[in-house]
Amino acid sequence: MGKLDGKVAVITAATSGMALATAKLLVEEGAYVFITGRRQEKLDHAVKAIGCNVTGVQGDAANLADLDRLYETVKKEKGYIDVLFASAGQGGQEMLGSVTEEQFDTTFGLNVRGTLFTVQKALPLFRDGGSIVMNGSIASVKGMPGRSVYGASKAALRSFARTWLVELKDRKIRVNVMSPGPIDTPAMENAPPEMKEQFRSMIPRKELGRPEEIATAVLFLTSDDSSYVNGSELSVDGGLAQI
């Protein structure tokens, strides 16, 4: 028997890396999963990789019309939601003196505005007792050069969780933040070798995290194993932000 038998989950930006690994694990644990991705080809590959109990809906979490289409699909196919992993987000490397208005608006538009409306538009379909997990980052608590805009956008999610758990308490919907450290994903493959080596040197075990390690953390936060965890931020970073 799986930990999420009979549950319906929505995961945004789940065509690769951490979110795709999470979608696979949640299906293995009995959930039916709806995933999104901006590019149809990558979305089709992700659906094939998950294999069963999955629906892919093309869309951008920063686009409110796309979110409406996502939830209309969920409503039509399943009628309800138990789990939401708001995973969509993006980073950047802008030092304070070179941040542009466009960079700021793009980062906050997806990471903050997109997350807010991803959650808000899901609420009419949410069953009482559900679980919302937002994809944060240790950049919100650990100062990193060039990460001020990204870190601030992720810090906003921590604030959302504190407020939303109070607003949703009567429905017993839990809201938590999962904040990863450096993870060995396709996005990390494009990082300069010296950056990856620097991250490794800062992590106590001297290895980047794996997408599967993120997936198990999200499973914990979305299952009854974490029934008494609400409004928290779980750092999944190998200890990097703790030392």
Question: Where along the chain do its domains lie?
Answer: 8-234
- pLDDT tens string 181-200: 999 988 787 778 887 888 89
Residue 224, Cβ density class (10 Å: 0-12 exposed, 13-18 middle, ≥19 buried): exposed
Question: Is the predicted pLDDT of residue 156 greater than 90, yes or no?
Answer: yes
Instruction: Give per-residue pLDDT as tens, 203-232.
Output: 999 999 999 999 999 999 999 999 999 999
Q: What is the pLDDT of residue 192?
A: 80
Strands (E), 1-106: 8-11, 32-37, 54-58, 81-86
Distances (CA, A) of 218 to 11, 82, 149: 11, 14, 25
Catalytic residue among 32, 71, 150, 228: 150
| Catalytic site includes residue 150 | yes
Confidence of residue 144 (pLDDT cuts 50, 70, 90): confident
Residues 6+ apart with CB under 8 A from 148: 94, 96, 99
| Percent composition of the chain: helix, strand, coil (DSSP 3-state, to 5) | 50, 20, 30
Q: For 8-234, give the CATH class.
A: alpha beta
Distance, first Cα to last Cα, the chain: 38
Nearest to 181 by CA among 160, 155, 200, 162: 200
Amino acid letter, 137: S
Q: Which residue bears the tokens 């607003």?
A: 167
User: For the residues 157-183, what does the mean pLDDT come to?
Assistant: 97
Summarised one tens digit per residue, pLDDT across range 48-105 is 999 999 999 999 999 999 999 999 999 999 999 999 999 999 887 888 989 999 999 9
Q: What is the pLDDT of residue 64?
A: 97
Q: How far apart are CA 83 and CA 32, in angstroms?
A: 10
How far, in Å, CA of 211 to CA of 87, rounded?
Answer: 13
Model confidence, pTM: 0.95
